[in-house]
Structure 1
Amino acid sequence: MQVTCLHLSGAGLLRCGADPGVMSIAQAHAAMQLHLDCTVDTCRVRRRARAVLVEAGRCVLDERALP
């Protein structure tokens, strides 16, 4: 998958502090790769992307990651 085809700037996926809004599954995967060094505690984009992937059944969280 090429990240450039996902219209990242319009989705607001580049800045950690910005709320990215609604994401597609493809955008969530790209966001997780773009924010690989971020944590869900500090990065709103990674937090939203993880939630999208978990809700879609594409990501299963370890017990340690659950609140």
Structure 2
Amino acid sequence: MQLPYPNMRVASLLNCACDPGVLTDEQAHTAMQLHLDCTVDRCLVRRRARTTLVEAGKCVLDGRALQP
């Protein structure tokens, strides 16, 4: 059984190893909540969500997050 499109999008947010692609601000916020215990170094979903929110001006990174 194939999931309807909106549910497929939610399902793509659950797998840390799968880049979900372009996210809306709302989807990025949901992804950040779903992956609270993840780091951007290991979780592609959290990395994409953080990037989306930073680019939208909804999240400002601490100086520690900008250091290599």
TM-score by length of 1: 0.84
1:62 pairs with 2:62: yes
Structure (1 or 2) with the larger CA radius of gyration: 2
Pairs aligned (count): 61
Counterpart of 1:9? Answer: 8
1:20 pairs with 2:20: yes
Structure 1 residue runs of 5 or longer lacking an equivalent are 1-6
Counterpart of 2:42? Answer: 42
Q: Is the 8 A contact 1:8 1:14 kept in 2?
A: no
RMSD (Å), alpha carbons: 1.2
Q: Hey, which bits of structure 1, 4+ residues long, moved more than 4 A? A: none
**Matches of 1:62 and 1:8, distance apart in 2:** 33
- 1:8 Cα deviation from its structure 2 partner: 5.0
**Matches of 1:8 and 1:48, distance apart in 2:** 19
**Matches of 1:34 and 1:17, distance apart in 2:** 14
